[in-house]
Structures are given as C-alpha cells and as structure tokens.
Amino acid sequence: MKRLLALLSLAIVWCSCTNQNTNENSKMVMGSPNAKVTNVPNTQRTIKGPLAYAPQVPKIQDGDTVEVKFDVTHKIFNITNATPFTAWTFGDSIPGPVLRIRVGQTVKFSMTDRSNEVAGMAMNMEPMKPMQHSIDFHAAMVNPADKYRSIQPGETISFTWTANYPGVFMYHCGTPMVLLHMISGMIGMVIVEPRGGYPDKADQEFAIVQNEYYLKQSGALFVPDTSTARIKHPTYVTFNGKPAQYAIHPIHVKAGEKIRLYLLNAGPNNATSFHVIGTILDKVWFDGNPKNEMEGMQAVYLGPATGAVVEFVLPEKGKYTFVDHSFADAEMGAQGIFQAD
C-alpha cells in the first residue's frame, strides 16, 4: 500500500511538471513573417530600442513589442591607442550594443548595411570596401535562410522575432567567412529576462563580452588576420572590446552590495574561465537561465557562444581583479578591476 501511494504521488508530481512544461511551451512563438529587404537606408544612424553599450546594461522596455534598430558600419576602431583597426561593427562599436528584453516580447528589428558609407583615407583599404553583412540572433527561433540572410551594401533588412527562453545570448554576423566577420568585430549580447524578471534583485549590474582579436599590421593600421584565427592564436583577448581597459580604468562598485554580471563569451574560438580574485560567485545561472542554477562557484567556464548571469559580493573595500583564469588570455588582455569603495 505504501509503495502504491509513493508511486501515485510520483505520478502526480510528474503530471504537474509535464503540464507546466506544456503550458510554457504553448506560449512559445515559433517563426515569424518573412523578412523584408529594401534598398532604403534607415533614416537615422543612431541606435534605437532597449540598447546600451557594455558595461552598461539597458533598461527593459514595457510592452509586447519593442522596436530595435542598429546598423552595420565599417570604421577605424581603436582597440588600443596604438592599434587602430579596420573594424566591421554593429552600432558603431565592438562589441555591438547590448539588447535587453523579456521572454514573450517581440523584437521588431531593422538594420542597414552602411559599409558603403566609409569616408576618408581608409575607404581604399581592402577590409573597408563595401560588402555584404547579416545578423544571427541566438535568442531567436526563426528560419535562418530567411532572417539571417546577407544583404548588400545600402540595403536594409527588417524582421521580427519573439523571445522564448531567458538567457544571455549572442548575436553575430553570419556572412561567410563567418570567422572573418566575427574577428572584425561583428558580435554582441542579448539579455532575455524571464517573464517575471530574474528571481532576485541586484544592487549593481554590468555586461561583459569577452572576445579575441587576431591582427596583422597593414601600413599604419591593423587588419584582421584569418591565418592566426584559424590556428587560434589571438593577438588580444578582451572584455568589451579593449584589452585590459578595466585594469586601466577600474569599474567602481560598493563593498558588500550584490553585483550581477551578464557574461558572454563571444569567442569566436576559445573558452573562458571567468573568475573574480577575492570572492566566490554566489550564484551562477548558466547561459543566463535561472533554471540552470549553480552555487558557490570559483569560476564559470564558458565555451564560445555561451553566456551566464553571475552574482557575487565583494566582501570589503579594495581592488578585486577579474580575469579569464586561462592566464594566457588574461595576459593578452582579459583582465580588469572592480574597485570596491
């Protein structure tokens, strides 16, 4: 009898779990109307939507639909003051702007390929010539042949997608050679919060995208080097596009407060082992989904195109270095400092 009751209660638990999953799945939105491509550029060059440049984290926008716009540009981007780079960007920056939405929100996205708008000396350099680009949102569930197709210089692509899963996701250009487009800077982060927001509140939050650069010099400029990228020998490994920038200009926080980081390893090739010297990661939501919760971690190991939300406290005033604990990467620039005041 006891065994029967135990089996019965197990069955009830199983049923309720299954029902819950079915309900969640029934809210999912699969696919969306066909993308539109026109030869009319977006009227303004500025980014639009719940976007911010890392380490800043944008605010969620209310509503079922959010309009999001950023364009592709070719420009000289100073990786360091001594490293002017022929970059291909989303929203004029490496990484591209951070987008923040909620599960259930539909993104109405548009993007112009402005690679034909380069002016000045650099326009004659091979990497700066107009070319096709595209965007691939890992947070979306849509037909890639339609939404992630390449557009021509001067064209604008528009499509919608709906966020089904919470997480810290990547977006990138998917135009061949994808490796070249990614090492040229075409990477960025999407934060998708759970429907009701994350389970707890943080006092301060920051976005950190790790990426590798593979460079060779060409005259006064630096250009992407696919030969070292293919054998995974980076020139720099960075947090938010510039080597050791937060070692030079630390991020100021308060001792004792709960800090939340949205982490993304954009790669394109190497893993990262993110660690903060002097504390322990209280909570880790692997890939940014609270259902993937881990606790009390010394580091979080993220392969390329993997994210996490991590929360921790810096126990007392001081300087806390954060690194990719694969120390070759830290030496190549994947290091920074939290200054706890």
The Cα–Cα gap between 89 and 222 comes to: 15
How far does the chain reach from its first CA to its final CA, in angstroms? 62
Closest to Cu ion by CB, 215 or 263: 215
Measured in residues, the chain has a length of 341
Cα torsion 44, 48, 54, 56: sign: positive
Nearer to Cu ion, 69 or 133 (CB): 133
Output the smallest distance, CB 178 to Cu ion, in A.
8
Strand order of the β-sheet with 258-267 is: 236-239, 204-213, 258-267, 306-313, 281-286, 293-297
Residue carrying structure tokens 């259902």: 291
Q: Under 8 Å CB-to-CB from 282, ≥6 apart: which residues? A: 258, 295, 296, 311, 312, 313
Judge whether 208 and 266 are in contact, CB under 8 Å: no
CB nearer to Cu ion: give 74 or 102: 74
Of 178 and 247, nearer to Cu ion (C-beta) is 178
Choose between 167 and 224: whose C-beta lies nearer to Cu ion: 224
- Shortest distance (Å) from residue 186 CB to Cu ion: 5
87 is a contact residue toward Cu ion (CB under 5 A): no
Q: Which of residues 114-133 bind Cu ion (CB under 5 A)?
A: 133
Rounded least distance, CB 187 to Cu ion, Å: 10
Site for Cu ion in 155-214 (CB under 5 A): 173, 175, 181, 186
Can you list the alpha helix ranges (DSSP code H) found in the chain? 2-26, 144-147, 178-183, 226-230, 245-248, 327-331
Q: What is d(CA 206, CA 338) in angstroms, rounded to the nearest whole number?
A: 11
Starting at the earlier edge strand, list the strands of the sheet with 221-224. Answer: 72-78, 84-90, 221-224, 215-218
Tell the smallest beta-carbon distance from residue 131 to Cu ion (Å): 7
- CB 188 → Cu ion: shortest distance, Å? 12
- When the beta carbons of 71 and 287 are compared against Cu ion, the nearer one is 71
Cβ-closest position to Cu ion: 173
Closer Cβ to Cu ion, 175 or 279, answer by number:
175
- Taking CB under 5 A as the rule, which mask of x and - marks residues 282-321 in contact with Cu ion? ----------------------------------------
CB of 173 to Cu ion, least distance (A): 3
Peptide bond into 55 cis (omega under 30): yes
Residues 6+ apart with CB under 8 A from 35: 146, 147, 149, 157, 158, 159
The nearest distance, CB 175 to Cu ion, in angstroms, is 4
Residue 73 vs 273, nearer CB to Cu ion: 73
CB of 166 to Cu ion, least distance (A): 27
3-state secondary structure 22-51: HHHHHCCCCCCCCCEEECCCCCCCCCECCE
Q: Which is nearer to Cu ion, 304 or 333 (CB)?
A: 304
Q: How far is the CB of 151 from Cu ion (least distance, A)?
A: 10
If binding means CB under 5 A, how many residues of this protein chain bind Cu ion?
Answer: 5
The C-alpha atoms of residue 100 and residue 309 are separated, in whole angstroms, by 13
Residues that bind Cu ion (CB under 5 A): 133, 173, 175, 181, 186
